[in-house]
Each structure stands twice: as structure tokens, then as C-alpha cells.
Amino acid sequence: MLGRMPGSRPAVGAHVAPEHPLDQASALGADCVQVFLSDPQGWKRPPERPDAEDLRRSSVPLYVHAPYLINVCSPRNNIRYGSRKILQQTCEAAAEVGAEAVIVHPGHAEDGIEAGFGRWGRTLEMLETDVPLYIENTAGGDNAVARRFDALARLWETIGERKGTIEVGFCFDTCHAHAAGEELSDAVERVLAITERIDLLHANDSRDPPGTGADRHANLGRGMIAPEALRAMIRTAQAPVVCETPGSADDMRADLEFVRQALSKPLQKPNATAR
């Protein structure tokens, strides 16, 4: 399995700034890293990287997060076509650096969720990539195609029918599930029943109460998700982990330690999902 360390322990890492990601991984003690290859709020093609060969040769797994503004579900032609274009360019740039996968938010369809599923199917038929594409559950948004798990099930059915030869995986974000109002005590199990896989876990606490749709991350154990619930999701997923949490390098090291401790021992499932 991708992102496994010796002894079958999942890799534990962090989202870092795009400059010198390998140096940042070393400084944090991270097993893997995640980066943006272009402006997360922009439409420009990712630039060539002078360190591409070093990244390809490195034993540190590198995950690429696609720009936030991608929305291939949009009924607006300029948004949908632009999204497909930058997604294709991001996948090409990810291949150049030897990335493990590209993670993308699946978006929302203002004219109805069913239309959004169809547009994702068409996107996969058009996309060309040898790098796996990981769909991530989202925190909020009307007519979001992967906010609630019932919608995710419909999206995943469409993906299975129309992905062609592309490897499509799933990235589960703990904060997003909390923000969407999903019950966290069995969230991982319910996702696995739909996708049969969790290829990457975004371990994030939340600054806001459950169900608000607010995608505002907090450091692990310091937000509105019960620490026991976070530990249980990390433990149950048994997938490589990336923390996308705020603060200093020391804050990130503490979050990585939180994850490693959660993975180190069996935990009982909590009854409560929030403080």
C-alpha cells in the first residue's frame, strides 16, 4: 500500500509550503508531505520545479493538493472547463515530481446535485493521468456532491461507471465530516462501506461546532472534535495521514505525535463526537 512505512505503520506527515518540502519534512520529522504546486486560488498552470528530479528520487511520499477553486460540477461553462483544464495540468505537474496522488475537492452543482454527478463522470472520461486521483469529502456548500455520505455514495457509483483506466481513490478529512454534520463515531466505517478504501486521511480538528459547514481547521485535540473521536478515526482508517493544521512548527510536531500515538495502540470507539 502506498504511504506505508517499515513495519506496516501508515506514514504520518504534514501539508507544508511548496518551497523545499523535503527539508520541511526532515525538520518536522514527517514521513510524508503534501503541497500545492500552484496558487490554490488561481487558474495558472503549475510552474516547472527545479527540484523535480530530487522529489522524484526521494523516498518521502509527496501528495499534491489541487487548487481549491476547481469545480468540475459547475453548470457555468467557463468554471467547468477551466476546472478541468487546471486539474489536467495539476496531474501532469504531479507526475513530473513523482507524486503519490492528486487530491481534489469534488465541488458542487448550483443547478442540482444529480447534474454534478454527471459532470464528474464526463470529467473522468476526459482526464488523462497516470497519477492516482483522490476525491476528498467536503465540509459545506449547497448541492455539494461529496459533503454528506449519501451524496458520496451516488458520486462513487458514477465514478465506478466512468473512470476508465484512471485510479481513483478516496481522501477522508475528519474536519470536513464534522463540519458536514456526519456522526463521527462510525464515519470511517460508513465511508469504507461506500468506497471500500481510504487512501489518505486528512487529520484535522475543527474550530467550529458540528454541522456548520465551516472548513476551519484546528490543531488536534484543541478544537471542537472530541480527541477520542479523532483518535478512533485515525486508528480505524489505517491510511497514510496528512495534518493540515495551523500554527508553528512545534504545533505541527505536536499534531504528528498525536497521530502517531493514536496509531500505536487500540482504542475503544467513543460515544460522543464533539466536546
State pTM to two decimals.
Answer: 0.93
Query: At residue 106, does pLDDT exceed 80?
Result: yes
Is residue 13 situated within a structural domain? yes
Q: Give the pLDDT score at 271.
A: 52
Q: What is the pLDDT of residue 12?
A: 98
Is residue 174 included in any domain, yes or no?
yes
For residue range 31-47, list pLDDT tens digits in order: 999 999 999 999 999 99
Mean pLDDT of the chain: 94
Phi, psi of 121, deg, nearest 5: -60, -45
Rounded average pLDDT over 51-67: 98
**Do the domain assignments include residue 259?**
yes
Residue at 147 is within a domain: yes
Give domain status of residue 271, yes or no: no
Please report which residue ranges of 29-112 form alpha helices under DSSP H: 52-57, 77-96
In which element (H, E) is residue 134 found? strand 133-136
In a domain, 270, yes or no: no
Q: State how far the alpha carbon of 190 is from the alpha carbons of 18, 77, 104, 168, 197, in Å.
A: 34, 34, 21, 18, 11
> Residue 272 — very low, low, confident or very high, per pLDDT cuts 50/70/90?
very low
In a domain, 275, yes or no: no
Bridge partners (DSSP) of residue 205 are 218
- Which pLDDT tens digit goes with each residue over 130-185? 999 999 999 998 899 999 999 999 999 999 999 999 999 999 999 999 999 999 99
Range of the domain at 67: 6-264
Q: What is the pLDDT of residue 141?
A: 86
CA distances from 180 to 96, 144, 198 (A): 34, 10, 18
**Three-class SS state of 13:** strand
Number of domains observed in the structure of the chain = 1
CATH number reported for the structural domain that contains residue 18 in this entry: 3.20.20.150
What pLDDT score was predicted for residue 8?
73
| Position 243 in a domain | yes
Does position 266 have pLDDT exceeding 90, yes or no?
A: no
Q: How far apart are CA 95 and CA 255, in angstroms?
A: 29
